[in-house]
Structure 1
Amino acid sequence: MQDHQVSEIQVSYSPNIIETIISTSESSYMLALNNWNLDTIEMCEEAKVLFLNNALKVIGIYNLSKGGISSSVVDIRLILSIALKSISTHIILIHNHPSTSLAPSKADMDITSKLKLACGFLEIKLLDHLIINKESYYSFADEGLL
């Protein structure tokens, strides 16, 4: 019998920052802005995910994708695999609109619904989905869409 080894897939984070608790959509927005390249926020769409524990303390932020002028990829399987690996119980999806419009598109609404449904199967709560620009944000939770 041969000894077969497989590679371990790792998700890591460096807990070298002050613990942050997310209590409002505004606190999510401010944290996102502090982790966004403001020089490119109006050039290309990016998607990031905040992963939180049960006390709503931030475990980490993941740069999910960087797209083009009008879209970026939101891979639900990847989001959930990281949430499980990091023992996250809550997540917040955040993306920007390079056009600076904060109005959610049909695609934004659809991915939010799909992500919320998928999270529910794993007992992970989608707390919010923010659409951001340099000046402001749109919160699906604040608008009652979650």
Structure 2
Amino acid sequence: MNSYISEVEIFYNNPVKIEDRKKVISSRSAQEAFFDFSDPRKIGHKEFFWLMLLNNSNHILGISTLSSGGITGTIVDVRLLFQIALKANATAIIVGHNHPSGKTEPSNADKQITNKIKSAGDFLDIKLLDHIIITPENTFYSFADEGQI
């Protein structure tokens, strides 16, 4: 019986030059990037969770939608989050999600997932810079600004 071993190949393709990519310089610039990436017709309807991938100079490599949930929550698989971050060679990340209710205050679940992501990132040497909560009204909450990271 013949046995075969499959080759695993990983690559990242981004044709945009580094100097042409948006740079995150504050929680406001991260919030704007998430808001621009999201569909404003949908963020008042249900929750989404996003992952922003950054290089060592805080230029945005890309944003990935990790999950789409219900009216009051969405599930985040931390393993998939870091699978994407590792594949993109991100040295830092910012996570974000929306609150369709318009309230910016984080829930206990928001705080727990932030701590879980931070711990995993510390182990992998991928820094969690912030967790941004955005609203349909374009208001936001920054875990970093509030000393929660």
Q: Structure 1-normalised TM-score?
A: 0.92
Structure 2: tracts of 5 or more residues without a match: none
**1:89 matched to which residue of 2?**
91
User: How far 1:72 sits from its partner (Å)?
Assistant: 0.7
User: How far 1:7 sits from its partner (Å)?
Assistant: 6.1
1:50-101 CA-to-partner distances (Å, cap 9, x unmatched) read 0001111111101101000011111111111111111111000000011111
Opposite residue 139 of structure 1, the aligned amino acid is: S
Mark the CA change 1:12 to 1:39 in structure 2 (over 3 Å): closer, same or farther.
farther
Opposite residue 114 of structure 1, the aligned amino acid is: K
CA contact (8 A) 1:13 1:60 kept: no
Structure 1: tracts of 5 or more residues without a match: none
Opposite residue 99 of structure 1, the aligned amino acid is: S
User: How far 1:133 sits from its partner (Å)?
Assistant: 0.9
Matches of 1:32 and 1:71, distance apart in 2 = 18
CA contact (8 A) 1:11 1:82 kept: no
Matches of 1:13 and 1:37, distance apart in 2 = 24
SS in 2 for 1:121: helix
1:144 aligns with 2:138: no
SS in 1 for 2:65: strand
Matched positions, count: 146
**Structure 2 matches for 1:1-146, cutoff 5 A?**
2=2, 4-6=4-6, 8=8, 12=12, 14-16=14-16, 18-134=20-136, 135-146=138-149
Q: Structure 2-normalised TM-score?
A: 0.90
Matches of 1:143 and 1:117, distance apart in 2 = 18
RMSD: 1.8
Matches of 1:51 and 1:29, distance apart in 2 = 14
Mark the CA change 1:143 to 1:53 in structure 2 (over 3 Å): closer, same or farther.
same
Matches of 2:14 and 2:43, distance apart in 1 = 25
